[in-house]
Structure 1
């Protein structure tokens, strides 16, 4: 998280105080600022600040939250369309539940006054925390653990670094109000997972936690892709 904030602050500083061809510097490099509020299904609800830049470029900095409904919906989608096995998707989605999302994106617009744009960026997903039943875990992993069943649970906590790409369309409503729609793909590339087996002996818990933590970290990085659809309402200051 500290690394993300440091990189973000360096980017803002470099852009805000860019050097022009005549050698001068200006803090007015930003050509406008927008505030966005909206949702990105099945990923997050949140808000963003967008900085308009020259050459049809812009940058956004966002903060979002993943409700339980969204993470559960992702599990259904991922299992339903074959992104991963249905049982695996159910368990893996628990690591996204109730997480906060911090993201930064850079983009190019065909026309800043409305039209298509392409965004690419980075997201840090932190503080995910959910529970899967013992039977859900065993179905996903394919192993039966002694004394671990539907009456037991596995707590899953996750933090993720992800790369993102979005293709969208901006529509102007008024001089200051606009709305944009986009479709995107989010790909975790680093996963830090902690699991805790509840209601079993210490020896069984240690075995389950070792197996499932390694299994989930591999699933998040090698199998998880999050397709999204977004709608954002924007106000230009």
Structure 2
């Protein structure tokens, strides 16, 4: 009941109250809760490897690692770098249930991803049911749902399942992250997957989680998997 009321008032908010910047509390602009100054400060990831989304000092088709060992995904679109003030908005959504921050992030992502190669469906990275019970919501799904709506893309919210619980990736180094998520995902039984999907998550660090999920999608017959993420470390 509490969550339903929160969503109701979140939807009514823009009609009842003026837009207010979620970063500095100044008046918002452009129909979102973000002022022009803070929009200017957003860490857009404009110069990045097209294959893994790694921020680069200057534009390049691929970084050295992807040239030497191409990853499983066809491309990666990481909209932002994981740095202020964007990181604070993601943390507010992920750990504090801030749906207003989620709406703002989804609107910003849609602006950029509208120009990405168009997949046939959007597949969010799922939480394990144990983590979902603890948190009460799935932050990747909370971003993917409005993003899919704005871009008019089918959302396969149940396309993937967490086959087992894993330790938090933030506590592990790169090698341990790969071991941690090995076999952690499975394609949901009976689901029909299109030939081209975009796999979505909120943050990409080493890419181990997304790579393992992409591997399962490819094994299930998906010909092309692109990665869409809000922010890249």
Normalising by the smaller structure, the TM-score range is: under 0.3
Structure 1 length normalisation: TM-score?
0.25
Q: Which structure has the larger Rg?
A: 1
TM-score w.r.t. the length of structure 2 is: 0.26
When you count strand as a share of all residues, which structure comes out higher? 1
